[in-house]
Structure 1
Amino acid sequence: MCLIAIAWQQHPDYPLIVIANRDEFFDRPAAPAHWWPDPPGLLAGRDLRGGGTWLGVGRDGRFAALTNYRDPKQNRADARSRGDLVVRAATNDQSAAAFGAQVVAEREDYNPFNLLVSDGDALVAVESVTGQSHTLPPGVHTLSNHLLDTPWPKALAARRGLEAALRTEPDIDTLINILRDDRPAPDAALPDTGVPLAWERMLSSCFIRAPGYGTRCTSIVMRSATGQMRFVEARWHTDGSPDGRTDEQFDIA
């Protein structure tokens, strides 16, 4: 993922609400969200090059998602696929805190990342760059390609949109549309992450359209207070038009 906003224990009916955009090159093959046969009990899309995923949920209600930390100078060709972390986070039986501590110890095996994992009782964020694992307090949190709650323009826009949506019964299309905003931020508000200015501009909006690259899908995860999980993945063509949708609802095991 490249942009995540998450409402943790902020809505009386839905203690976990996640909205997230995956931005990627369009020529990188991926399978739509589905129930994986191996490991079993994982609902997620699949990166067909690295074998892992960017966001997933388990039958037992676990949730995990990952963003890359944008710093081209730190990337190594021999690093393990970061998508494997999400698969492991969403399918293991450790507490979120214990798994977060384990990932901190392994972080040097991967290119820089941020990982979110919830076991239903806690929400944990792991930052490989700082080497820290945080158990997050109730609130609306955002994560893009920097540290947790870094106030990049698109993260702030996602936070405002999600906070507004929490005032009523959350609606799937309303949540998706929060992340369909493709307006770039003004130059004065752009971060400096080591990519050319033209790319900083294109990457500054919630919904990205760039040559050969852009928002491939928008994911919504809602865990209800009564023990149900809903997972929606809306996929997009290169021009931003719809390219199919997965909508799964299930009782948490």
Structure 2
Amino acid sequence: MCILLSSVLHPDYPLILISNRDEYFSRKTQHAAFHQDNPSLLYPKDLARQEHGTWIGINKNGKIAVLLNYREPKLGDCVGKISRGAIPIEFLQSDLAPEKWEHEIGSQTETLQDIGGFSLLFGKVNVDRSTNGAQPLRIFSNRSNACESAFNTYKTIGMSNSKYHEPWPKVHVGTELLEKCVKSSVDENWSQEQLIEQLFAILSTAIPEREKWKDMSYNDAFDLLPNSIFIPPVWSDAANDYYGTRTHTIIMLNKNGQVTYIERDLHTSRNLDEAPQTRKYEFSLENDDT
């Protein structure tokens, strides 16, 4: 069960966004890259469905999108006719401004009914030079009646696989940890490397501690998934695969408009001994009219 945490409190980084992807380890995935078919878009590809969608991405103009599945009450409702992963790419490729795109997708009632439940954090992250703040992002869901601005009430937010206003315990824990991390980084004048290290530590927080997950099956762990930011590997007999946190992602925008995107793959197969692979991209935002 994935999680997204984000803050706009750091004076040097108008946007800090961190994310865990929890998934079956053998699900075919291509790591984050500027792909040949979408050279201005940076995102990982989920290869398990023909749409080759994604759960997270950003483009060179500053459009960003992060998708989280909604945990349906009925298991059969989890997979829709249309892949949710196509939605972030559709937004990132669109020439429409975020507000117009939001109106367009919101009007596609029948299409939204054919998509499994999701929440989407999206928008454009240009820096306001007068305040060094990032432009606000939006939250859209096909399991909620309203789209709303992120960071209106709180400057640190979190989302997981429930409705935005019905957050799981892991979201409360994560937002508190991220707020403390940002405050400490400012008070103690951390370097970017120190900040990134602590952001990875947040994404690695297991509740209960990892030792207690060792002998659990997926069924044993199911009720713990809403509580833990990090999901250690648990075996599923039904899927014949391990499930857990397989990818960390950190996206940071600094006050000069430079994006740092870091992806760390922990697991890409059933081999639990594989070494984590980390890749880092940095680029400056390009201006456009949307």
Q: TM-score, normalised by structure 1?
A: 0.88
1:160 — aligned with what?
176
Shift of 1:27: 1.6
**Alignment check: 8 A CA contact 1:5 1:142 kept:** yes
Alpha-carbon distance in structure 1 between the residues aligned to 2:260 and 2:122: 17
Alpha-carbon distance in structure 1 between the residues aligned to 2:177 and 2:274: 21
2:229 — aligned with what?
206
Shift of 1:76: 6.0
When structure 1 is superposed on structure 2, of 95-104 and 9-18 the one drifting more is: 95-104
2:157 — aligned with what?
141
Shift of 1:203: 5.0
- Where does the alignment leave 5 or more consecutive residues of structure 2 unmatched? 126-134, 210-217, 236-241
Is 1:84 the counterpart of 2:89? The answer is: no
1:132 — aligned with what?
146
Is 1:252 the counterpart of 2:251? The answer is: no
**Alignment check: 8 A CA contact 1:234 1:242 kept:** no
- Superposed CA offset, 1:79-131 (max 9, x none): 21101111122232322222223232332231100001021222000021113
Shift of 1:72: 4.7
Residues 20-169 of structure 1 aligned to structure 2 (within 5 Å): 20-50=19-49, 51-73=52-74, 75=77, 77-106=79-108, 107-120=112-125, 121-136=135-150, 137=152, 139-167=155-183, 168=185, 169=190
Q: TM-score, normalised by structure 2?
A: 0.77
**Alignment check: 8 A CA contact 1:114 1:125 kept:** yes
Q: Secondary structure at the match of 2:276?
A: strand
Q: Higher strand proportion, which one?
A: 1
Alpha-carbon distance in structure 2 between the residues aligned to 1:205 and 1:5: 13
Q: Secondary structure at the match of 1:166?
A: helix
When structure 1 is superposed on structure 2, of 195-204 and 167-176 the one drifting more is: 195-204
Shift of 1:158: 1.1
Alpha-carbon distance in structure 2 between the residues aligned to 1:3 and 1:76: 17
| Structure 2 CA distance for partners of 1:140 and 1:241, relative to 1, 3 Å | farther
Is 1:184 the counterpart of 2:204? The answer is: no
Alpha-carbon distance in structure 2 between the residues aligned to 1:76 and 1:147: 15
Shift of 1:150: 3.1
Number of equivalenced pairs: 243
| Greater C-alpha radius of gyration | 2
**Alignment check: 8 A CA contact 2:249 2:264 kept:** yes
When structure 1 is superposed on structure 2, of 164-173 and 19-28 the one drifting more is: 164-173
What is the letter of the counterpart of residue 175 of structure 1? Answer: L
**Alignment check: 8 A CA contact 2:156 2:179 kept:** yes
- Superposed CA offset, 1:52-79 (max 9, x none): 1110010111111000000152616552
Shift of 1:250: 0.5
| RMSD over aligned Cα atoms | 2.2
Alpha-carbon distance in structure 2 between the residues aligned to 1:101 and 1:124: 12
1:215 — aligned with what?
245
Alpha-carbon distance in structure 2 between the residues aligned to 1:122 and 1:109: 29
What is the letter of the counterpart of residue 12 of structure 1? Answer: P
